[in-house]
């Protein structure tokens, strides 16, 4: 693998990392990958595991999250003949599971972060800490919202997920797209690289190739329109730009406009089913 880009952890440690390109899979790999990633999540600045509304960035994140929840569950419902049981891996503080439950699903969630699980418990959502805790179950739908890029031992994790699906089940995965315009624009400051928490950086090709050996195929790809704006806002902050909201809006808008033609949105949702 060849060096693609040097970047750093802007949100927690400030440490330097490298992204190396796997040409065969058409993806990027974070190097080095810390053996213990837990300290890199232990920060109030890492808001994906909190319900913080302290700063403007926090409030915007929560606003976008709330708007996205209904859209997410509808994408799952659209793929199923009937609503039954759903597993959300990387469930955070449980908001998606609450939405899914309100839509009629029997829900199960897995979240390794202890703080996030405690916040979910306060909302009445019990989360398991590991996939091993639900290995004796089968699910009609499994969702990973910006989670796959965090998982070590990627091939084993994919194998475990596929084994948890019923025969006609659906796997829904959302991940950043390093081939988007905003990724190319911000380069080492692109917030969705989020090293070292993001161990892998995917393209459409890599998702198809990674799941093919497990008899899974991508049947649909959907854009996440809001991500271009939110990621651009964080990226502008990482650059130290004072007028970051104004700049981020136009970069995010241009990224989405270009993606109408290139189909390379800032983040993509992949819907996969077992190959028949």
- What is the torsion angle, in degrees rounded to the nearest 10, for the CA atoms of residue 228, residue 231, residue 235 and residue 238? 170
231 vs 55 pLDDT, higher one: 231
Token pair of 63 as six digits: 């606003």
Q: What is the CATH number of domain 2-274?
A: 3.40.50.150
26 Rama class: left (phi>0) / alpha (psi -120 to 50) / beta: left
Over the stretch 154-194, which tens digit does the pLDDT of each residue have? 999 999 999 999 999 999 999 999 999 999 999 999 999 99
Over the stretch 251-261, which tens digit does the pLDDT of each residue have? 999 999 999 99
pLDDT of residue 50 exceeding 70, the answer is no
Confidence of residue 245 (pLDDT cuts 50, 70, 90): confident
Around 1, how many Cα atoms within 13 Å sit in the side-chain half-sphere?
16
Residue ranges of the domains in the chain? Answer: 2-274
Average pLDDT, rounded, for the chain:
91
pLDDT of residue 100 exceeding 90, the answer is yes
Three-class SS of the chain: CEEEEEEECCCCCCCEEEEEEECCCCEEEEECCCCCCHHHCCCCCCHHHCCCCCCHHHHHHHHHHHHHHHHHHHHHHCCCCCCCEEEEECCCCCHHHHHHHHCCCEEEEECCCHHHHHHHHHCCCCCECCHHHHCCCCEEEEEEECCHHHCCCHHHHHHHHHHCEEEEEEEEEEEEECCCHHHHHHHHHCHHHCCCCCCEEECHHHHHHHHHHHCEEEEEEEECHHHHHHHHHHHHHHHCCCCHHHHHHHHHHHHHHHHHHHCCCCEEEEEEEECC
57 vs 222 pLDDT, higher one: 222
pTM: 0.92
φ, ψ of residue 271 in degrees (nearest 5): -110, 120
């Amino acid at each position: 693998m060849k060096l693609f880009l040097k970047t750093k952890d802007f949100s927690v440690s400030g440490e330097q990392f490298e992204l190396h390109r796997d040409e065969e899979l058409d993806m990027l790999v974070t190097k080095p990958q810390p053996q213990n990633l837990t300290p890199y999540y232990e920060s109030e600045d890492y808001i994906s595991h909190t319900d913080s509304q302290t700063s403007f960035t926090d409030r915007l994140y929560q606003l976008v999250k709330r708007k996205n929840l209904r859209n997410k569950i509808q994408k799952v419902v659209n793929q199923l003949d009937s609503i039954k049981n759903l597993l959300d891996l990387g469930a955070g503080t449980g908001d998606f599971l609450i939405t899914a439950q309100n839509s009629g699903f029997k829900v199960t969630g897995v979240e390794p972060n202890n703080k996030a699980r405690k916040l979910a418990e306060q909302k009445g959502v019990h989360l398991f800490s590991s996939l091993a805790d639900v290995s004796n179950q089968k699910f009609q739908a499994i969702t990973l919202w910006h989670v796959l890029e965090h998982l070590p031992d990627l091939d084993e994790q994919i194998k475990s997920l596929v084994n948890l699906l019923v025969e006609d089940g659906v796997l829904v995965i959302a991940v950043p797209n390093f081939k988007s315009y905003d990724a190319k624009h911000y380069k080492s400051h692109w917030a969705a690289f989020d090293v070292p928490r993001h161990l892998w950086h995917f393209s459409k090709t890599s998702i198809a190739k990674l799941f093919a050996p497990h008899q899974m195929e991508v049947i649909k790809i959907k854009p996440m329109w809001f991500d271009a704006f939110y990621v651009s806002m964080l990226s502008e902050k990482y650059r130290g730009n004072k007028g970051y909201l104004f700049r981020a809006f136009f970069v995010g808008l241009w990224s989405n406009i270009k993606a109408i033609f290139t189909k390379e949105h800032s983040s993509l949702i992949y819907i996969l089913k077992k190959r028949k």
